[in-house]
Structure 1
Amino acid sequence: MIKKFFQVSAILSLTSAVLLAGCQNKEVKQVNSSSSPNQQKALEPVNLKYYFFGASKPGDQDVYDGLNKVLKEKINTTVEFIKVPVGDYTQKMSVMVNAREEFDLAFTSPSYLNYFEQSAKGSFVDLTELLPKYAPETYKQLKPSIWDAAKVNGKIYASINQQIFARQSGFNVNKAIADKYGFNPTSVKKMSDLIPLLDKVKAGEPAEKTDQLFNAQMKNQVFSYFFPSYEWENIGGVDVPGVAKSTDKNPKVFNEYDTPEFKDFIMTLSDFQKKGLIAKDALTRPTFDSAKYMASSIATLMPGIEETVKATYKAEQYVIPLGEPLLTSANAIATMTAVSTTSKHPERALMVIELLNTDKDLYNLLVWGIEGVDYKKIGNNRIESLPGAKYGPAYGWMFGNQFNSFISGTQPDDVWEQTKKLNESAKLSTLYGFSFNADNVKAESANSAAIVNEYKAAFNTGLYGADTEKKYNEFLAKLKTAGLDKVLAEKQKQVDAFIATKK
C-alpha cells in the first residue's frame, strides 16, 4: 500500500527611482487595515492591471468585484485582474514587456516570464528598498536567506509568494482505474514505467475515454519537473540550457538536453504517441477533458497534494514521488509577483501584494471564490467546494502567502505547518543563493531559448514520431550553432566564482 507522500517546488535602479520619485512615506501607513478613514482618503484613487495565468471561469468577475470592494476600502485601489491561458502566458507577456505596454503586476518565475532575464533587462522594478517600506509584513515573513534567492546582481526584483519551497517531482495516476488493472504504484521509478498500465487501460476501456490518457502538458518545460530527482538545478531559468548537479561540492554546468535522461524522456513520449496514449491532435485541440487523463507528471509534491490532484483530475489519485525534497534558489523563487517598470503606481502595486500576503479573507476570496456560492465552511479553516461553483479554485501558490489558505478534502489540518517544516528540513543545494547574470551572453541565451521553444511542444507530445532521433540531433546541432557553448562557459565561470566565495 502506497504511503501518503508529504515530501514534495544600474538601468533598472534608475528607472525605479524615477517612477517612485513622488511617493510619500505616509502611504506606508495605508497598508495597515486599521488605518483611519481620514488616512485612507489621503491616498488618491488608482486602477492597476494584474496579469497571471489560469482558465477563465463564469464567476471570475463576481470575485474580482468583491476583491475590488475590499481594495477600494483599504487602499483606495481597484485592480483589473487579467487571466492568460497558461500555455500562452510567457509569449504574451514577453510581447507586452518588449513593447513597453503599461501594466502594474505580473506573475513571474524562472519558468514563466523568465524572472532572471526580465530582471536583468529592466522589465521589473527594483524592490530591494521598496518591499520593506510598502510591504513590510510580507518582507518580514521570509528569512533573509530566502530573499537572497531572489537577488539578481544583488537586487530583488519581485516579491516571493510564500508556499512550498522544497521541490520533489513525481506522477499522479487515477486510482480507481489503476486498481481495476492491478497497478502497483511502487513499480514506477520513471515515466516509461507507466506504459504497462496505460497499455492495459487503452485496450480495456471504451475508445472515447482513452484518446488522451497521458497529460503531455505540451507547452510546459516538463523535462525540468524531474530535475530534483536527478539532483540537478537550473542555472538562470529553464528556457536557457545549462544546469548543474545541486549536491556536488564543485558543480559542473552541462547541457541538460545532451544527456541520456533527456533522450529517454523524448523517446518515451514518442512511444506514448505511437501507442495512442497522448492525444493525436495535442497541438491543435482547443480543450481537453481533465477527467480523461489516466496519468500526469507533477512538478511539485507537497503536503496535501492528493487533494489538489483529485480536484484537478476529478478522481482519487495515486501520488508517486521521485527522489527526495531539494531546496534550490530556483525553487525558492518558483512563484513570484513582479511590478512592471511601466507602472505609474509601483508603490500602490506593492500595497496590493502586502494585502494578498496579510489579509486572509482577501487571499481566500481570490483563491476560493465566494462563500455560499463557490464553497461552504465545514470547520474553522476547512471548506468544501459547492457543486455549482462558478469560480476556481485558483492556483493558491500564485498569489501572496499560501499559508493563509483554507484547507479542503483530505488535506490534513496542519498541512501548512507540515509544509513549513518541509521547507526547513529539505536538502540544501550547494548553489543556494546563486543567481546567474546573462549580460555577457544575452544574444546567445535568447537564441538558445528560442530553439528550445521551437522543439519543446513536439518533443513533449511525441509528435516527431519515427523522426524523433533525427530531430533530436538536429536540435542539439542548432543549440551549438546558437552559441550555447559560450552560454555554458559563462555559467560555469560564475558558478566557480560563487563556490570560491564559500570556501
Structure 2
Amino acid sequence: MGSKTMIKKFFQVSAILSLTSAVLLAGCQNKEAQQVASESSPTQQKALEPVNLKYYFFGVSKPGDQEVYDGINKVLKEKINTTVEFIKVPNGDYTQKMSVMVNAREEFDLAFTSPAYLNYFDQAAKGSFVDISTMLPKYAPETYKLLKPTIWDAAKVNGKIYASINQQIFARQSGFNVNKALADKYNFNPTSVKKLSDLIPYLDKVKAGEPADKTDQLYNAQMKNNVFNYFFPSYEWESIGGSDVPGAAKSLDSNPKVFNEYDTPEFKDFIMTLKDFQKKGLIAKDSLTRPTFDATKYMAAPIATLMPGIEETVKNTHKADQYIIPLGDPILTSPNAIATMTAISTTSKHPERALMVIELLNTDKDLYNLLVWGTEGVDYKKISDKRVEPLPGAKYGPAYGWMFGNQFNAYISGTQPDDVWEKTKALNESAKVSRLYGFSFNVDSIKAESANSAAIVNEYRAAFNTGMFGDDTEKKYNEFLAKLKTAGIDKVLAEKQKQVDAFIAAKK
C-alpha cells in the first residue's frame, strides 16, 4: 500500500469508527482519538496537533544517527504531523534501564520489548503497556493484516495484545559463527561443533598463533544477555512466561513438564565451559567493566536465530566472512513468534499517534529502509531496486532490521539471495510447531516470587556468561540454586506447570 493511500486509510477508518459506540482510552487519549477521527482525508492532516514521541530501543550509537533520524522525522512530520526522539540504550543495559523507567512511571511512548528484553509478559500483566487489541485494526490496519491471527495469538496476555509484533523470522534455530579465514588457516572443521566446548580447539589455536593484541576477546560472551536461552531450540526447550524467570518445558512433548532450566546438566556444562574460556583468555579479562567491545576481534560467537541470508548479517557485524554452524532444527514457539515487538507505554499521552508510527514503519518501505540502512548515497548505494551495498564511509548502521516494523521490506545486500524474504516466510511455515504454541502465562498469583527469582538470575548472569567466577564457579552455581529456592522458585514452577496442564487439557 502506498503512503498516501495508507494515510487516507487512517482517517477514513477513524471517521467511520467515530460514529460507532466503540470505547477508546480515557482522558488525553480520547482527545487525540476524536481529533484523528474528525479528519477525512490526507489533505486535512495538518489539523492533527503536532506531537513528539520518545522511542527507546537498544543498539550502539553511531556518528550518523541524528542525520538519519532528522530524515525520518521529516517524513513523519509530513504524513502524520509527528516527530520522534529515537533513544538508543546499550544492549546489555536495556532491560535494567527500561525497567527502572517503567517502575518510576516515566513518560515515554514506544519501546522495544520481547520475552527476553523488558519482559513482555511481565510488563503487560502489570499494566506497563497499552492494550492495543482494538486499536490495531483502527490505527495500524495494514500492520494487523500482515500477520495471521495465530501469530497475533502468541502476543496475547489474558486474551489481549499489548505490543505490535515485528514481521521477521519466527521459527528459531540457534547456532554459532566462526571466522572463516582463521578456521581455514588452522584446519578447523566447523561441522565438528555440536556444543560450546567444541569451539575450544579452534580458539586455542587462534590464541596461540595470532598476535596478542588481536586475541584479547576471541569469543563473544554477550555478558548481560540471556545467552543460555539461545540454545533452547537445539534442546527443543522453550521459556514459559518470559526468559528472566526460571521455568522451561520441552516444546514437542505431548504433555510438557516445567523445570528449572538452570538446574540442569546443560546449564552447568554451559557455565563450566565459559569458566574454561575465561581461564584460557578466550573471553576479555575485563568483560564486566570495559565500556566497548571490538566485534572484528570475535573469532566465534553464539547466534540466537539462524535464518536465510544470516551469513551476510554476521559478516557485516564482524567485518569478515564467517562459517555458520546450525544446531538442531527450526521450531515455532510463542516466545519466538514475539521475540521482537514494539510496545506503547501506558504513560504515553499519544498512544494512537504512536501506533500510526508503527503502521508507517511496517508499510512505508522507504521510511523503514531509512531507519535500517541510513541515507542513500551516504551510507549505502543501490545496486538494484531491492539490493544495496554499504559505502566505505558510512556513519550509520545498518541497524537491526528485525527490531522495527516489517523486516520483509528491507533491502538485501552481499550474499543474501534475492528471494531471502520468501525463503524466510517458507521457513516460518515449515518449522515444527510447539505443543505450547499460543500459551500465555499469567503471573498474577506469583508476582513476588517471580520478581525475586528474576533479580537473582540477573545478579549472577553476567559473571556466569563471562566465566568470571573462575575456580569458584561450581560453588557460586550451588549458591545460585539455593538462592532461587529461597526466592520461591518451586512455587513459580508449580504455578507454571498448573497453567501448562490446563492449556494442554483444553487442546484435547
The CA deviation at 1:25 is 6.0
Matched, 1:320 2:325: yes
1:36 aligned residue: 42
Equivalence for 1:360 = 365
Is 1:22 aligned to 2:48, yes or no?
A: no
Determine if contact 1:15/1:341 at 8 Å carries over to the other structure. Answer: no
Aligned residues: 486
> Once the 2 structures are TM-superposed, how far is the Cα of residue 22 of structure 1 from its aligned partner?
2.7
Task: Tell me the distance in 1 between the aligned counterparts of 2:341 and 2:249.
Answer: 23
Instruction: Tell me whether 1:107 sits opposite 2:116 in the alignment.
Output: no
Which one of the candidate residues 211, 222, 243 is aligned to 1:217? 222
Amino acid at match of 1:231: E
- The whole-number CA distance in structure 2 between the counterparts of 1:29 and 1:144 is 30
The correspondence of residues 20-99 of structure 1 with structure 2, limited to 5 A, is 20-24=29-33, 27=36, 35-37=41-43, 39-99=44-104
1:265 is the counterpart of 2:274: no
The 5 Å alignment of 1:282-431 reads 282-431=287-436
Q: 2:150 aligns with which of 145, 157, 162?
A: 145
Detail structure 1 runs of 4+ shifted over 6 Å in the superposition.
none
Q: Deviations over 1:337-367 (max 9, x none)?
A: 0000000000000000000000000000000
Residue matched to 1:185: 190
Cα distance in 1 between the residues matched to 2:375 and 2:243: 36
Note closer, same or farther for the CA distance 1:15–1:214 as it changes in structure 2 (3 Å cut).
farther
Matched residue SS, 1:169 = strand
Tell me, in whole angstroms, the C-alpha distance in 2 between the residues paired with 1:287 and 1:141: 37
Q: Which residue of 1 aligns with 2:438?
A: 433
Q: What corresponds to 2:489 in structure 1?
A: 484
Partner of 2:246: 241
Write the distance in 2 (CA, Å) between the matches of 1:302 and 1:28: 41
Whether the 8 Å contact between 1:366 and 1:394 is mirrored in structure 2 is yes
How high is the TM-score relative to the length of structure 1? Answer: 0.95
Whole-Å Cα distance in 1 between the matches of residues 331 and 282 of structure 2? 31
- Map Cα deviations across residues 136-162 of structure 1 (whole Å, 9 max, x no partner): 000000000000000000000000000
Residues 397-423 of structure 1: CA deviation (Å, up to 9, x unaligned): 000000000000000000000000000
Opposite residue 410 of structure 1, the aligned amino acid is T
- Relative to structure 2, which stretch is displaced further, 159-168 or 284-293? 284-293
SS at match of 2:173: coil
CA contact (8 A) 1:28 1:134 kept: no
Report deviation, 1:194. 0.4
State whether residues 379 and 393 of structure 2, in contact with CA within 8 Å, keep that contact through their aligned partners in structure 1.
yes
SS of 2:231 mapped into structure 1 = helix
Q: Does the C-alpha gap of structure 1 residues 475 and 16 become closer, same or farther in structure 2, counting only changes over 3 Å?
A: farther
Please state how far the C-alpha of 1:44 moved relative to its aligned partner. Answer: 1.1
- Unpaired runs of 5+ in structure 1? 1-13
The residue aligned with 2:141 is 136
Q: Is the 8 A contact 2:237 2:248 kept in 1?
A: yes
Tell me if structure 1 keeps the 8 A contact 2:33–2:352.
no
The question of 1:471 aligning with 2:480 is answered no
TM-score (norm 2): 0.94
Report the alpha carbon displacement of residue 287 of structure 1 after superposing the two structures with TM.
1.3
Equivalent AA in structure 1 for residue 42 of structure 2? S
Deviation by residue 1:127-182 (Cα, 9 ceiling, x = unmatched): 00000100000000000000000000000000000000000000000000110000
Q: Once superposed, what is the RMSD of the aligned Cα atoms? A: 1.3
What is the one-letter code of the residue matched to 1:305? Answer: I
Q: Distance in 2 between matches of 1:171 and 1:135?
A: 37
Corresponding residue number in structure 1 for 2:453: 448
CA contact (8 A) 1:126 1:155 kept: yes
Q: Cα distance, 1:387 vs. partner?
A: 0.3
Once the two structures are superposed, what CA deviation does each residue of 1:108-130 show, in whole Å capped at 9, x if it has no partner?
00000000000000000000000
Alpha-carbon displacement from aligned partner over 1:477-498 (angstroms, at most 9, x marks no partner): 0000000000000000000000
1:125 and 2:134 correspond: no
**1:161–1:336 Cα contact (<8 Å) kept:** yes
Structure-to-structure mapping, 1:200-211, within 5 angstroms: 200-211=205-216
Q: Which residue does the alignment assign to 2:234?
A: 229
Q: Which residue of 2 aligns with 1:6?
A: none
Q: How far off is 1:446 after superposition?
A: 0.3
Deviations along 1:450-483, one digit per CA (max 9) or x if unpaired, are 0000000000000101000000000000000000
Instruction: Tell me, yes or no, if the aligned pair for 2:220 and 2:298 is still in contact at 8 Å.
Output: yes
| Distance (Å, rounded) in 2 between the aligned partners of 1:125 and 1:490 | 26
* Counterpart secondary structure, 2:477: helix
Q: Secondary structure at the match of 2:30?
A: coil
Whole-Å separation in 1 of the counterparts to 2:455 and 2:309: 36
Partner residue of 2:179 out of 174, 187, 193:
174
Amino acid paired to 1:366: L
User: How far apart, CA to CA, are the structure 2 residues paired with 1:379 and 1:169?
Assistant: 31
| Cα separation, 2, equivalents of 1:411 and 1:157 | 33
- In structure 2, the CA distance between the partners of 1:267 and 1:437, relative to structure 1 (3 Å rule), is same
Q: Is the 8 A contact 2:35 2:48 kept in 1?
A: no
Q: Per the alignment, in what secondary structure is the counterpart of residue 24 of structure 1?
A: helix
Separation (CA, whole Å) in 2 of partners of 1:303 and 1:79: 32
One-letter amino acid of the counterpart of residue 478, structure 2 = N
In structure 2, what is the Cα distance between the partners aligned to 1:444 and 1:15? 34
Q: 1:268 to 1:469 in 2, by over 3 A?
A: same
Amino acid at match of 1:203: A
Would you say the 8 A contact 2:387–2:412 is kept in 1?
yes
Equivalent pair of 2:99/2:118 in contact (CA under 8 Å): yes
2: CA distance, partners of 1:212 / 1:262:
22
Q: Which residue of 1 aligns with 2:162?
A: 157
Identity %: 84
